[in-house]
Amino acid sequence: MKLLHISASPRGRDSESLAIAGTFLDTVREVNPDTPIEQWDLWDGTLPPFGPPAVSAKMTVFAGQQPSGEAAQAWDAAITTFRRFDAADTYLFSVPMWNAGVPYILKQLIDVVSQPGLAFGFDPQTGYTGLLQGKRAAVIYTSAVYGPERPPAFGTDFQAPYVEDWLRWAGVADITPIHFRPNLATADAAAARATAHARAREAAKLLTAAP
């Protein structure tokens, strides 16, 4: 089994999501030290853009044809990125909430790897089929103001529904959410932080156990 940690937080040591991810990964190393772990910081510059050539390539492949020129180069970059993503059996995502949703860098990864014949298949009669079958994911969600028990003035969650809908669409049905959502402006976050880290330890033990 290979574990891939995908970090969408640019805050380094100040990141709550990365701290919780650290607890998850430390637990994996303790209970299953032979597990290969890869760290993928989405801010490290390795993620290719998804602009006009890439969009052209996607639609060309969708039509059953082969891209050429700039589109072919963009398609090769997308395939290379997908292979890095697909090489893992289990995913750990660190996802801070940005403006009720996800950081744009995570959306960029999703756009790059969500390609026909790679992440999904499509049938005109039955629709989409996710091709990432048999994989598992844990997703760490953090937010400093939004919380499910708070009124609408504290925000709306387009973060977790988006990530989990995409994972299921791509074929990943085994999803373990880990939430840390204190109101940092008014509340003591210590109890919520301890709960999130305990949840991370529990999830790490379950998700890295043999299926």
Helix ranges, the chain (H) = 16-31, 52-62, 69-86, 104-113, 160-169, 190-207
Where are the chain's structural domains? Answer: 3-207
Query: Three-state SS for 166?
Result: helix
pLDDT attached to residue 190? 87
Digit-coded pLDDT (tens) for 195-208: 999 999 999 999 87
pLDDT attached to residue 187? 66
Supply the pTM of this predicted model: 0.94
Distance CA 21, CA 16 (A): 9
| Backbone torsion region of residue 180, taken as left when φ is above 0, otherwise alpha when ψ lies between -120 and 50, otherwise beta | beta
pLDDT attached to residue 210? 62
pLDDT attached to residue 191? 86
* The CATH homologous superfamily of the domain defined by 3-207: Flavodoxin domain (3.40.50.360)
Closest C-alpha among 35, 62, 20 to residue 136: 35
Residues with pLDDT less than 70, the chain: 184-187, 210-211
Q: What percentage of the chain exceeds 90 in pLDDT?
A: 88
